[in-house]
Structure 1
Amino acid sequence: MKKILLPLFLFLIVAGTGVIGCSTNISTGAGDGTSQVAAIDNSSLDAAVIKSNNVTTPAASDDAHLRSSVSAPAEGSTYLIGAGIYDITGPSAEIAFMGFADDTQKGAGISMRLRSRAFVIGDGINRVVFVSADTWEISQMVKLRVAQKLAADPILSKFYSAKNVCLSATHTHTAVSGFDGYFLYDAIPKGFVRASFDAIVNGIYNSIVLAHNNIEPGRIYINKGEISKCGWNRSPRMYENNPDAEKALYNGNTDKTMTLLKLVNLAGQDIGMINWYAVHPTSIGPENHLMSGDNKGHASYMFEKDMGTDYQASKTFVAAFAQTNAGDVTPNVPFTQNFGTIESAMDAAEIDRATAVALGLPWYQAYGEADIEQNIELKLMAERQYNKAKELYNSAMEPLSGSIDFRHEWVDMRTLYVTSAGTTTCPGGMGASYSYGSPSDNPSPFPLFKEGVTVDSIDWNQDFETAFLANFLPGAIGLIYPASVTDEYRECQAPKPVILATGLMSFSLKKIPLTPQIMPLQVLKIGSMAIAAVPTEVTTMSGRRIRNTVVDGLQNAGVKYAVVASLANTYASYLATKEEFQLQGYEGGGTFFGPNQLLGFQQEYGKMCAAIVNGTAIADGTAPADITGDTVNFAGGGVVFDDKPLSVSFGSVFTQPAASYRKGDIVSAVFWGGHPNNNLMTQKTYLEIEKVNADGTAKVVARDWDPETKYIWQRDSVAYSKITIVWNTKNAEAGTYRIRHYGHWKSGWTGKISPYNGVTKKFTLL
């Protein structure tokens, strides 16, 4: 997020002066992801599971799910389990990626498609949903809109709502942006991109419907194990400020444990897998322009390929590599110049010096290539997570036992009274150090402030604050900055010097703040395990404290294990401990609601756990408004029309492949095509690699979601599009092949969007 300030302020200046008006959001044609999967009524399955577990159905009430924990058979409870997966890739060209917050990092194609992976788990009385999505965040508007769609369905509304559905992002930094709704997080793409929003909302919703439709009786097994050399703490000085006695309880300054759930039906057939492991998906750097799930997306792909997953099937195996307390954990520390050396890179990658030198290690920043065969760090981080998950899955023996339950509340973090602190949390505010970013991942060449700037630093005083706002932000700041930031607010946020009071500032007549201020906090109980859904990036120690709070709070309900699902249900930057906050590193500067934010979260998770144990309700809180109707888009991005040379057709081959290649060669072809945003090809593909048989029939061996392919879009002239398709033949069989491209073009005369396809000449792989 470190480069967000300048694009934001330029955006504000342009918008405030009225130089440009709102342009039309991207318009897509058929196959754009707006179709909905129909839900089936499977309520009859509840009774069978209740009978299997010898559970007494609670009396009907307005809160029918409320009940105390129940006993379970020794071999583990029988649950209703279902898994679903759906495409959420979205527009793959000319929309900025988010995560590195670099407005020059715009999409130009696909390395691999992005997915929403959903799991429904029930005990015949209650159901919960966990979703892991290949996005950089789950925005509050996505959470609300998915809940609205569930509520609008007469079948799904009986089972699911915002209360028992948890949406968590993997936090890949190579995915589209523009779907947040709040101004700060939509600054990089220069506004709200409806096509991004719709693709993610509809894909998540459809994955939930598929999981619902697929439920059947089964069991869930839990397993845990450690991974070495798969994530390093990028803020060790801040971590060291935590109490020594607390640090002594743990093996290092990152969580190395993967927690895994294995879902199988009663016949022993594999249904799905979820694991949580703490590492940032930043193995692919900001120079990349192809969409990818990064290391967690690749690990999912590897696991699903092993299990025979069919991405176009309504029922198939689903493997989620979900995110947890990775707020201060990155794969890049030993590989990049901030902390890394050639020796640290050699040790982390387990390579010799000659190889490290040839790779140019250590790098300036995260390596800018989405190709897993060219990016050694991506390959290592993906394979290490995948290998551990396979080991844990194959050896999982401990069944989960007990009831399914949940609590959810909306908490206004501007005014939450934290009893243990004797004070309230604060309206959101971005600290000066947050602008510095993470130099281990993507160092800023011109940081506004260095890390560790506090209100007592020589680099900061109120006069400098005033001059900075007046001189650096002329015109723009007057539109949105509050008339005065009170001493009370400064004291609340101390020692953080606030450069953007995101909870007080607004670029809207409706006074919508720059970032969300009302947080959805949630606990899901799945038998003897619980999930704490946290709407931020969570540092290592913050996650440990939340897990302890939840296990302690639910131990009388039979809970032995807890995981943190981070970036869940909303995004509000970071969550550092109070001790880490005092030093104002990057994560502390991004802890928006002040030094007592973690204590406030723990307080509310404790209340929800007590309510689950006691079988009592908890106040819903006031839900935030749906602000999608109040968003703006200054980026444009709509396809006006497509053109081509008069002598060719859309789909014609501009550059044919060579006549023959050897295994391991890179094959490429270039087509005259249309803009990919004309049709997102949701659940489909822009390319196929076909193996041609002797009788002339062909078999598809790779598509645009397979990491051995690349779909690359490039604008040529004003409205020409050249489509390059690349195929790495490392794992291919010898034979005869051809490359096929699918796309859509838009008429400049009628606006009609029409499909086309093209195919290359055949070539031989020896």
Structure 2
Amino acid sequence: MSKCTRFLLMIGVVLTTLPSSSFARRCKGKTVYKVGQGIYDITGPAAETQMMGYALGKQQAKGIHMRLRSRAFIIESPCNRKRVVFVSVDLAQMFHSVRWGVIRKLKRKFRGLYNYNNVMISAIHTHQGIAGYSFCALFNMTGLTNGGFFKQGFNKQNYNAIVNGIYQSIVNAHYNMKPATIKMGARDLLNASMNRSKAAYNHNPWAERRRYRHDTDKRMTLVRFDAVRGNRPLGLINWFAVHATSFSSKHRHVNGDSKGLASYWFEKKFRTNYQARDTFVAAFAQANCGDVSPNLWGIPKPQTDYRNADIIAKRQYNTALQIYSRARKKLSGAVDFRHMFIDFSKIRVKPQFTGKGHQRTCVAAFGISFAAGSTEDGPSYHKIKGGKMVKEGWTMGRRRRTHSNVLFRPVTKKMIRCHAEKDIYMPIGNPGFLGNKFRMTDRVLPLQLFTIGQLAIAGVPFELTTMVGRRLRKNILSALRSKGITEVVIAGLSNAYSGYVTTRHEYAKQHYEGGSTHFGPWTGAALRQSFYTMAQAIRSNKPIRMGRLPRDLSRFQGVRTVGVVLDAVPIGKKFGQVRNQPREMYRRGQRARVVFWGAHLKNNLMTQRTYFNVERRVGRRWITVARDWDDNTWISWRRHGVAASHITIDWKIPRNAPRGVYRIRHFGYRKLLHGRLKSYSGSSYPFGVEMRVKHPKPKPSIFRKCPRGYFKDPNGRCYQCPRGYRRSIHPVTSSRAC
């Protein structure tokens, strides 16, 4: 090491050990931060793969409605150069496996500038994404029942798409950094959510419930970013608590549910270019949604999926637009952060957080009510009668000798006492004979706290119920009010995932949320205690011990998902050839549909690209008007025979679509026998919107099938003999065949 390098390192050490209070004083009143925003595609293999969220093996993806995105924001302090990274991703959950992969790539490129301490990745909790991206077996096994075995397990293709997409969105944000102001606003949204566990919520003390007008958090908090130069809008983040379960478990097309749809509409309004590096980004992030449902009209059904999602998305979009246009309060002051890994299976909780003396958390376990699912958002396929499972093979984990002992050790009396009211169904924290190499779920979890001026962001790896979220915000605010913090938001499902967290009173009712609280009745109190410790560290400008990282399980992932062996088409067909042409004319509001002979969607994910274009003819040119990420398009995959594929493309024609001539073009990759991929493309006949475009007559083909009662001549033409005539046995043309 040279003398110059040693000197620079010594300066760095001195700067990092200077008291943060001096930086805070220098930051006071400063409103110009450095901000960067980035967006990137994270859509995985959207055909013959298990979907994530409802834990139903029959929910296999069959196409794309809208692409999934990673939306990243980097904010640098105006005085001490501290940076925080907030990423909102269109996924069901965020797992440590993904964050580990992203941080590893960031460390290589930026030499430690971005690390576990200052990078927060939060999932919106869509139930219409692709599964198989966790290192923990529990979250990769959702399809081992109902015929999903060969489509389950760790899906490396999906994992890489997610990790690379999140990493690239952060890289884009890094290179987009520029001086900017941050404005904050908030507003209540009253008609987009309901409490799905009212009996459990009402079990909380009346004295606490009476402080709040509603049984869910109705407050939407939003921050907007505007470049100083030219006042150009850069993007926004808003937090609102509502489950992304507007689409039912019978829906098979990948999309971001209501939050992904609201983001798309906001970005469309600001003309976001998804293929550009520097463009407007709108993140509709998740909050404490544990007991909050969007299904105001009952259990989601396939017939009403799109209508319900549109309504909830529109209400979030409209409220966000109102806050965005009226936000006036500028954030000012320092940026700070704290982060810790903590083993949630053995936290000793102090009396000030329990109200009942010292308590402990438990080894992770599911309760029997977990198996029932959430009644309001789509019940599970399990059936419960009299407290016992009636579906064969899913016996209760409380029994000593059960089917599940391959994966779990027997439940102990200590566990039963610790989990109190919970009737233990699966002791997921007790690994079986496979030990730590086959971990069902993480017990070491990350907790993270950001402060940006007057705003604090708490990153939690759980789904918090409404009351837990309120208590947590209150604790953090009490510790940080002296630092000028006036607003605390909860970023749910951040950095990892380990089920739900309820209050002690809600836990006693053992609804779905209570049965899904992994670490027992005092998990909520342990969470508040840990965040209070981090908040105190920020207040007193002291460092905090990060803790031990979860064990690296990347080497123990067995890939059970079956890949594509070969793509083929029937004799006489070509890849990209149209099987079913569109009609000659459509009205606005109708669906145009084309079916192509194509290849498997797994061959190439077309990241940052598209599987098809809808094009309009303008003069001699064709202008693209829709792609596979638009909200009015669908691409569907279906197997034909052994190795052939039907690719169906639907375009719902907008009410404001210009009258004219259109066509649909499809792009894909086919796999050859030796494994190499080869691109192909195809185009439909032109068709008219509010006008007729005549199609050419189909050319005769010897492979073309004739209608019933018709015969084919050697030239491929179909004919029918008149009444009283019989078909000739000689191979003659149709004019001489009868």
Range of TM-score over shorter length:
0.7 to 0.9
Provide the residue aligned with 1:545 in structure 2.
Answer: 471
- Residue 125 of structure 2: aligned partner: 171
Give how far 1:63 is off. 6.2
Residue aligning to 1:656:
581
Q: Which amino acid aligns with 1:683?
A: Q
Percent identity between the two aligned chains: 39
The offset of 1:591, in angstroms, is: 0.7
1:449/1:328 CA distance change after superposition, 3 Å = farther
TM-superposed deviation, 1:443: 2.2
Deviation at 1:368, TM superposition (A): 2.5
SS of the aligned residue for 2:52 comes to coil
3-state SS of the aligned residue for 1:535?
A: coil
Deviations 1:74-119 (A, max 9, x none): 8752111111000001111111111111111111110000000000
Which of 336, 344, 347 pairs up with 1:416?
347
Classify the secondary structure of the residue corresponding to 2:260.
helix
Look up the match of 1:480: 407
Structure number with greater CO (CA < 8 Å, separation at least 6) is: 1
Mapped partners of 1:414, 1:223: distance in 2:
38
Which structure has the larger Rg over C-alpha atoms?
Answer: 2
Alignment of 1:628-639 (within 5 A): 628-634=554-560, 636-639=561-564
1:611 corresponds to 2:537: yes
Task: Tell me how far 1:179 sits from its aligned partner.
Answer: 0.4
CA–CA distance in 2 between the matches of 1:612 and 1:335? 44
Match of 1:396 in 2: 327
Task: Tell me, yes or no, if structure 1 residue 709 matches structure 2 residue 608.
Answer: no
2:428 maps to 502
Give the one of 225, 244, 252 matched to 1:263: 225
Which residue does 1:193 correspond to in 2? 155
Answer yes or no: is 1:367 the counterpart of 2:310.
no
SS in 2 for 1:60: helix
Q: How does 1:15-414 map onto structure 2 within 5 Å?
A: 60=14, 70-71=24-25, 77-123=31-77, 124-153=80-109, 156-189=110-143, 190-267=152-229, 268-332=231-295, 334-336=296-298, 365-368=299-302, 375-414=306-345
How many Å separate the matches in 2 of 1:572 and 1:266?
A: 40
Which letter maps to 2:431? M
Q: Which residue of 2 aligns with 1:754?
A: 678
CA pair 611-74 structure 1, distance change in 2 beyond 3 A:
closer
Deviation by residue 1:630-673 (Cα, 9 ceiling, x = unmatched): 02233x32011101012121111111111111222210000000
Residue identity in the other structure for 2:255: S
Deviation of the 1:694 alpha carbon:
2.4
Corresponding residue for residue 513 of structure 1: 439
Distance 1:368 1:468, change over 3 A: farther
Q: Return the offset for 1:486.
A: 2.3
Query: Does structure 1 retain, via aligned residues, the 8 Å contact 2:180–2:227?
Result: yes
- How much has 1:375 moved relative to structure 2? 2.3
**Residues 432 and 449 of structure 1 are in contact (CA less than 8 Å); yes or no, is this contact kept in structure 2?**
no
Q: Aligned-pair distance for 1:367? A: 2.5
SS of the equivalent of 2:24 reads: coil
Using the size of structure 1 for normalisation, the TM-score is: 0.83
1:174-228 CA-to-partner distances (Å, cap 9, x unmatched) read 0000001111111024311101111111111111111111111111011000112
One-letter code of the match for 1:234? R
Q: Give, in angstroms, the shift of residue 510 of structure 1.
A: 3.5
| Aligned residues of 2:54 and 2:380 also touching (Cα < 8 A) | no
CA RMSD of aligned residues (A): 2.1
Structure 1 residue 436, shift from structure 2 partner: 1.1
Residue 647 of structure 2: aligned partner: 723
1:258 CA drift (Å): 0.3
2:483 is matched by which residue type in structure 1?
A
Distance 2:565 2:39 in 1: 32
Structure 2 residue matching 1:567: 3-state secondary structure? coil
- Aligned-pair CA distance for 1:513: 2.9
Task: Quote how far apart the aligned CAs of 1:426 are.
Answer: 0.9
Determine the C-alpha separation between the residues in 2 that align with 1:63 and 1:532.
25
Q: Which runs of 5+ in 2 are unaligned?
A: 1-10, 144-151, 691-738
Match of 1:586 among 512, 517, 521: 512
Q: Distance in 2 between matches of 1:467 and 1:222?
A: 50
Task: Give the distance between the partners of 2:440 and 2:227, measured in 1 at CA.
Answer: 46
Shift of 1:522: 0.5
Letter in 1 for 2:544: I
For 2:589 and 2:397, locate their aligned partners in 1 and report how far apart those are by CA, in whole Å: 60
Change (3 A) 1:433 1:63: farther
* 1:685 alignment partner, SS class: coil
CA deviation vs aligned residue, 1:516-567 (integer Å, no higher than 9, x gap): 1001001011111000001011111111111111111111211110000000
Secondary structure of the residue aligned to 2:625 is strand
User: For 2:456 and 2:19, how far apart are their aligned partners in 1?
Assistant: 16
Gaps of 5+ in 1: 1-56, 337-364
Contact 1:740/1:757 (<8 A) preserved: yes
Structure 1 residues 237 and 194: alpha-carbon distance in aligned structure 2, compared to 1, 3 A threshold: same
Letter in 2 for 1:429: A
Secondary structure at 1:723 match in 2: strand
SS of residue matched to 1:375: helix
The letter of the residue matching 1:295 is S
> The residue matched to 2:379 in structure 1 has which SS?
coil
| Match 1:433 to one of 369, 381, 392 | 369
Matched residue count: 659
What is the aligned counterpart of 2:570 among 645, 648, 654? 645
